[in-house]
Amino acid sequence: MPDAVVVGAGPNGLAAAAIIARAGLSVEVFEASSSMGGGTRTSELMQPGHFHDICSAVHPMALASPFFRAFELANRVELVSPDISYASPLDGGRAAIAYRSLDRTAAELGRDGAAYRRLMAPLVRNIDDVMDFTQNQLLRIPRNPLVAGIFGLRTMEQGSRAWNARFREDLAPALLAGVASHAISHQPSLAASGAGLMLGALGHAQGWPIPIGGSAAISAALADDIRAHGGQIHTAAPIERLKDLPAARATLLNVSPRGLVRMAGDALPARYRSSLEAFRYGNGSCKVDFIVSGPVPWQAPGLADAGTVHLGGTRKELAHSENEVSAGRHPEKPYVLVAQPSRFDPGRAPAGRQTLWTYCHVPANSTEDMTEVVTAQLERFAPGFRDLVVQSRAVTAAGLAEYNRNYIGGDFSVGTMDLRGLLQRPVVSRVPWRTPLPGVYLCSSSTPPGPGVTGMPGFHAARYALKDIFQLPVPALGMATAE
């Protein structure tokens, strides 16, 4: 009988299992798919020798997540951080570029450079306190209340109609809107601005790393550590009901609230079950992968050196696109997030070719293939792109939901990203990872701090399981303490 069982071998489930195994307890992980990784899988989707990340491709949190820092992920996985973290091109061959250097970024933003520096500098300078505030449950006293207050005031400013008050031109607003659109939320909004400011500050403080060999390297590092400490991982092992699991003192579930309801059934108290059934999921994405016969012919100088490019134009255009999705419509010119991993990891494609990773936002459960509109947006900012396409492959929002049970309607955030969705994740509680069922914890992105490859939902759930059941502290996670 294992001490603990974990359902779901995505980064959060693997993080929870690694912590429990490090504590000297026996743990078994059960994954429905034939391969582990969840949002950190890499595969030859179309042609041999061309490697594509299935979900996440660029990892702003790989160096900043408190869990990954303790785990020393940077010493286990080779990460490359491009000098340009992200960029937002505009029509006419211009682009707003976020360098790792905040000073260089500001210098190229024209009249708004000084205002942009004033907005971001306190967050970049205090990035550890920003991460402490954003990566834990909001219903707590932050480690540095002053920094939390600065972050909160800037979030309110950029999440309101006053978001352009400090700017006079269009480059800086476009840069902020592009990174805020990661939240898949209407704009302006507090959730989008908070996510954008955090991710933007990370881009200047440390960069946005790309794992050499693909995102699967992250899940492989976690799995190696679990096995090194006696844990077991079972793939192709779907768990439909909690009673299908081996008896264990602790059960950690990297599943959506809907998945918990399905697995627990009537064992859940009626009030808690009703809260889970009322949990709101967000809109989806259509992912389009490309094999191209050469570098993307960006019109704006410098974009070839960007790890991530946000397509959509001005802040007004980007907000319109995201608000169309929030209204249940497919935008004609959608926000398109583009990653260029093979530019920095040549092993992703044969010589002379590149793999290109893109997605755009769409209404939940959409079955529409967005390849053509994504291609048109790329062609808009990189004339001649269409002629370089060797092959493409699209996965609709409905297809994403089939790929991963947690992605309800194609929502890989596993829950609506708005203020209510941040506080009620999945319920309003000081310890939302703990369920009413004895020994059962939820550790998916439906719990704080929410989406992203951070391992933090798994960290928090495992921390409480160790405390509540085994009366153990969180163990040291670094490589020096591996034995």
Enclosing H/E stretch for 71: helix 66-71
The encoded tokens of residue 367 equal: 């079955």
Reported as a single tens digit per residue, the pLDDT across 300-346 is 999 999 999 999 999 999 999 999 999 999 999 999 999 999 999 99
66-210+283-402 placed in CATH 3.90.660: yes
Give dist(CA 241, CA 245) in Å, integer: 8
Q: Inform me whether the pLDDT recorded for 482 exceeds 60.
A: no
Q: Compute the average pLDDT of residues 186-195.
A: 94
Q: Compute the average pLDDT of residues 389-417.
A: 93
pLDDT band at 182 (very low <50, low <70, confident <90, very high): very high
Question: Which has more pLDDT, 103 or 265?
Answer: 103
Q: Name the one residue in this structure whose structure tokens are 């959506």.
A: 256
> Considering Cα of 460, then 463, then 464, then 469, what sign does the dihedral take?
positive
Among 8-17, 61-70, 95-104, 113-122, the least confident range: 61-70
Question: Global pTM?
Answer: 0.94
pLDDT band at 483 (very low <50, low <70, confident <90, very high): very low
Q: Compute the average pLDDT of residues 269-288.
A: 95
Q: Name the one residue in this structure whose structure tokens are 């979030």.
A: 155
4-45+214-278+413-481 placed in CATH 3.10.100.10: no
Residue 220's DSSP bridge partners are none
Proportion of the chain above pLDDT 90, given as a percent: 90
Reported as a single tens digit per residue, the pLDDT across 347-378 is 999 999 999 999 999 999 999 999 999 999 99
Proportion of the chain above pLDDT 70, given as a percent: 99
Reported as a single tens digit per residue, the pLDDT across 237-271 is 999 999 999 999 999 999 999 999 999 989 999 99
Domain ranges of the chain: 4-45+214-278+413-481, 66-210+283-402
CA atoms within a 13 Å half-sphere pointing along the CA-CB vector of 364: 16
Strands (E), 58-203: 79-80, 84-90, 94-99
Q: Inform me whether the pLDDT recorded for 418 exceeds 90.
A: no
